[in-house]
Homo-oligomer: A and B are copies of this chain.
Amino acid sequence: MIGRLNHVAIAVRNIEAASAIYRGALGATVTAPTPQPDHGVTVVFVELPNTKIEFLEPLGENSPIAKFLEKNPDGGIHHVCYEVDDILAARDRLKAEGARVLGSGDPKIGAHGKPVLFLHPKDFLGTLVELEQA
């Protein structure tokens, strides 16, 4: 069912400092920061040949990553995102398998403009999993 690894998301306190580390020490190609007020984050992509790393910096109040950064003040890997061909079929299969889909269970439009769902970390090896319609 799952296809490509779309991205690995790393929550960071300071997205400019994070970008400088990946551009400098690791010599990577890093995009300019893009504020996404609807998602409560500012986003940067590290473009790798086969996938991307996404930096997330809290934006505004009630950012969904604020609590994570309180627990992980240095930052840390927040989630992995796998692509699926049919997000509704994926959701139904997961529910039938007893996995918990977060929120209402209806896909929302994610940071890339495509329908996404998040799965409960307790059901997936302590790892928050995002599914994105390919």
Contacts and interface: CB of A to CB of B under 8 A. Distances in A.
Interface of A: 1-5, 8, 10, 12, 18, 21, 24-28, 48-51, 53, 55, 72-77, 80, 82, 93-94, 97-99, 121-127
7 contacts: A4-B49, A5-B8, A5-B50, A25-B93, A27-B93, A50-B51, A76-B125
Nearest to A24: B97
B74 A122 contact: yes
Counted per complex, copies of this chain come to 2
Report whether over half of chain A's contact residues are helix, strand or loop; otherwise say mixed.
loop
Given A25-B93, A77-B77, A82-B26, A3 B125 contact: no
Given A25-B99, A26-B1, A77 B74 contact: no
